Chains A and B, each alone.
Chain A
Amino acid sequence: MAQMRVLPGQPDAAATAAVDLRTRLAGLALPNPVLTASGCAGAGRELHQFVDVASLGAVVTKSIMLAPRAGRATPRMVETPSGLLNSIGLQGPGLEEFLAHDLPWLVEHGARPVVSIAGESVEEYARLAARLRHAPGVAGVEVNISCPNVANRGLVFACRATDAATVVRAVRQNTAGSVPVLAKLSPDVTDIVEIAAACVAAGADGLSLINTLLGMVIDTTTMRPSLAGVTGGLSGPAIRPVAVRCVWQVHEAMPEVPILAMGGILTGSDALEMVLAGASAVSVGTAIFHDPGAPGRILAELAHALAGLGFARLVDAVGYAHRPPEPPPDAGAGSGTVTDAGADAPAEGSADVEAVTGPPQVRR
């Protein structure tokens, strides 16, 4: 077997292809860790023109409510530095139309649909979950709790641990045991770990981190708010450090709870950052608006980055940043896939590894 020179960060194609990208998200086995973010890929149909929905880890659909919803007035969007502020107002067809047209389409096309649900009362969430229970093909349920609770002066469920937990419990109780329930948290809270713990205690199988941050832009020409909805949700790379911090804190407090991370992922290295912070999978949102081919590109870049660091399996990188720094883990200690190839005789300078047969090289 020929020796191949592999430069740090530039693994050969074979090494990239050899990275095992499979992951598990709260009992849900996924072929790879790159999903779409709710509200950024509709129900998959339009995106399918650019990325085969079956090739995605899963498709997280736009949050659906019981009834059709017109959404807010326009303008609904304003671009900000490395970000996007939106106030769509959950425009959507309502659950019945979603079940009649969108869910079957996703299933037919080989996608794994994770259905995002949103409601204005605990009862609405419970009814959504109960109705989804009998819909074939639902791979998972993501609970968007960044919605105003009509019964509690419009306070967003995600902002109070008890409200968040009540919704999650209602959804969990009405969802088949085999279908994981992910609670999607808002970063606009004092202590995200407290909310996360409450959701897990209420039965959440995993957590989606993070929803958009509440923001605002004023047009200095008209001297009025830029969005018709006045405030909106900030997304994109501008919020990525906030997302990484949330994933880090929650993973540190509850390392056993699976995390689906989102917030400004634009490249494979952004995705890797989330994985290292503790995410088992990632969702791509705003990046799709910038580059409709982003999910596929990000997956390829992530595989490349993992191979470059010597990881043979994605799962070995999950939460890696929490490990104490040097020395790197012993070859025999872990699963054996992240190995220090040069434990006895460090490969000085040269990063020659034997392709395929040689042990993976950890370079850092």
Chain B
Amino acid sequence: MPVQVRGEVLSVKRVGEYHEMTIVAPGIAEHARPGQFVTLAVGGTPTSMLTRRAFSIFRVAERGVYGGTVQVVFAVTGAGTAWLAARRAHDSLDVVGPLGRPFSLPRDPASATLVGGGYGAAPLIWLGEVLRRRGARVDFVLGASRETRLFGSLDAKRMATTVAITTEDGTVGVRGRVTDVLPTLMTRANADVVYACGPMPMLAEVTRIAADRGASVQVAVEESMACGIGVCMTCVLPVVGEDGVIRMVRSCVQGPVMDGTRVRWEDIGTVPEGTWGTAPVAGATSVRSGSR
């Protein structure tokens, strides 16, 4: 169950183009699992930025010297993340978490391939450690546009059987994308399950590759969110249920981790025909004509 706490920044440090922030946030670390996220209020009080910013949990420490801590890794992409990057030790932060559904872990020792794009590697490092402790084989594919946007490769190397690195500009590792090397790697590792976090197009492609090879695939999606707790219906995407029906599913509570094969990737940004709750009869109003 998520809680809202007044956290305290312990440290903010630069890691390549990212910022790694450690926050003392009692009550969150204790219950968090890999794949879940926290939301942070940004801009101070009062603020003109009303929506909280969502970040995957990179790591937690249940009992630090100062109580439970939560770490996040973020890129500065706008005013909210710029404000966060300017926080210093002892600044206070309004934290809500842990939120969303975590990665589910294989029951038996399995071969798991973890695919991270950019800061998407953050939750996978923690997941990899948990999987290793459960006796799984762990292989990583980490990619980014350039070296300074690569995250977690040292941590990955410490625990994984193999680590493949790709950068689009070739500054480090194989020039190209994670999905270029994934098929070979999956075969070599005899992968049973693929876990992925990164940009949506990457997740779509990883899902296709994993499904083609008969592996199960869990992805952590990133949809724009307004509340992060399931009350506003902003963060939806079309997902096929076990009954075969497409629904507009809230990624903050029924995700961010989802079975990649159930997401209608090509239909994101639309309400596909036949989705539960679309007008079934001809002549009825289209989904775009409703009220606000």
Contacts and interface: CB of A to CB of B under 8 A. Distances in A.
Interface of A: 39-42, 46-47, 49-50, 67-77, 79, 81-84, 86-92, 94, 118, 120, 144, 146-148, 150, 154, 156, 211-212, 214, 228-229, 232-233, 236-237, 266, 286-293
A228 B267 CA distance: 13
B277 A71 contact: yes
Interface stretch (B30-38, B144-152, B226-234): B226-234
Interface string B228-246: 0111111011000000000
Contacts of A69: 277, 287, 290
A81 B48 CA distance: 5
Nearest to A93: B277
Contacts of A228: 269, 288
Interface of A is mostly: loop
Interface stretch (B49-57, B116-124, B188-196): B49-57
A339 B229 CA distance: 44
B232 A236 contact: no
8 contacts: A67-B277, A71-B271, A74-B236, A79-B51, A86-B226, A90-B292, A94-B277, A150-B285
Given A67-B277, A72-B288, A83-B50, 4 more contacts: A70-B278, A147-B290, A214-B292, A290-B41
Contacts of B247: 70
B292 A91 contact: no
Contacts of B270: 73
B205 interface: no
Interface residues of B, number: 44
A284 to B, nearest CB: 12
Contacts of B227: 288-289, 292
A47 B50 contact: no
Interface of B is mostly: loop
B190 to A, nearest CB: 37
A83 B50 CA distance: 7
B291 A90 contact: yes
Interface in B267-288: 268-271, 275-278, 285, 287-288
B288 A75 contact: no
B229 A47 contact: yes
By CB atoms of chain A within 10 A, which of B94, B248, B291 has the most? B291
Contacts of B229: 46-47, 49-50, 292
Contact of B234 (A86, A144, A156, A287): A86
Nearest to B274: A70
B1 interface: yes
A71 B51 contact: no
B77 interface: no
